A and B are shown apart, each in its own frame.
Chain A
């Protein structure tokens, strides 16, 4: 199965990802690893026109528990 066509952008920063999201709204989806999003796209349950890859953003590579 092959997803429908889409544009792919690799965000260079969290700010760039956020600005692309703001610009494209519901037409854009964030891609981290893809093991949730890509199966949905293959089944056409998600048909984003833009996929924003945030998988390599260093600021998003961890979760920190600060005890709050």
Chain B
């Protein structure tokens, strides 16, 4: 599979989860394991451009696929992806544990719906939990990333 543009080839057991492959085999630890039960979305990555919870995808399912993790979001010149920038500017994170997954899910949402309403953002990110309950600023950040003025 290709991860963040880099091709990898490994022989793995069928039961190896994609998140384990990303974190343990490739050493890309920006993708967090939160609940490990498909509830929290902390492990969200893009699989061929679509957001998936990587604790619930087998590594073998991603054979020959393109995976993007949070490490692959920054632009080639090293600057932050617009969604990452908006999270920072709008304080869209508190402890930061959910943030990589939130950014990946938000980027996927904006690809499908470039100008979502606040409600559509809340619905689009419903599979991603923030235990700090910092949802308000996350929604503001996604609105800002979509180039929309956040309502007060």
Tell me the chain A residues, 1-51 only, with Cβ under 8 Å from chain B. 1-8, 10, 31, 33-35, 38-39, 42, 51
Q: Does B38 contact A (CB under 8 A)?
A: yes
On chain A, the residues within 8 Å of B57 by CB distance are 33-34, 38
Closest CB in chain B relative to A44 CB, distance in Å: 12
Query: B56, A8: Cβ atoms under 8 Å?
Result: no
CA A8 to CA B59, docked complex, whole Å: 11
Query: B14, A8: Cβ atoms under 8 Å?
Result: yes
CA A4 to CA B15, docked complex, whole Å: 7
Query: B56, A7: Cβ atoms under 8 Å?
Result: no
Most chain A beta-carbon neighbours within 10 Å: one of B13, B36, B61: B61
On chain A, the residues within 8 Å of B63 by CB distance are 10
On chain B, the residues within 8 Å of A8 by CB distance are 14, 58, 60
**Given B17, B37, B38, B53, which contacts A2 in the complex, CB threshold below 8 Å?**
B17
CA A23 to CA B15, docked complex, whole Å: 22
| Known contacts A2-B17, A5-B13, A6-B15; is-contact A35 B38 (Cβ 8 Å) | yes
| Known contacts A1-B36, A42-B36, A53-B61; is-contact A35 B56 (Cβ 8 Å) | yes
Closest CB in chain B relative to A42 CB, distance in Å: 7
Q: Does B144 contact A (CB under 8 A)?
A: no
On chain A, the residues within 8 Å of B98 by CB distance are none
Query: A3, B15: Cβ atoms under 8 Å?
Result: yes
Tell me the chain B residues, 44-89 only, with Cβ under 8 Å from chain A. 52-53, 56-58, 60-61, 63
Instruction: Give 24 A-B contacts (CB < 8 Å), ordered by A residue.
Output: A1-B37, A2-B17, A3-B15, A4-B15, A5-B13, A5-B14, A6-B14, A7-B14, A8-B14, A10-B60, A31-B61, A33-B52, A34-B56, A34-B61, A35-B52, A35-B56, A38-B17, A38-B38, A38-B56, A39-B38, A42-B37, A51-B58, A53-B60, A53-B61
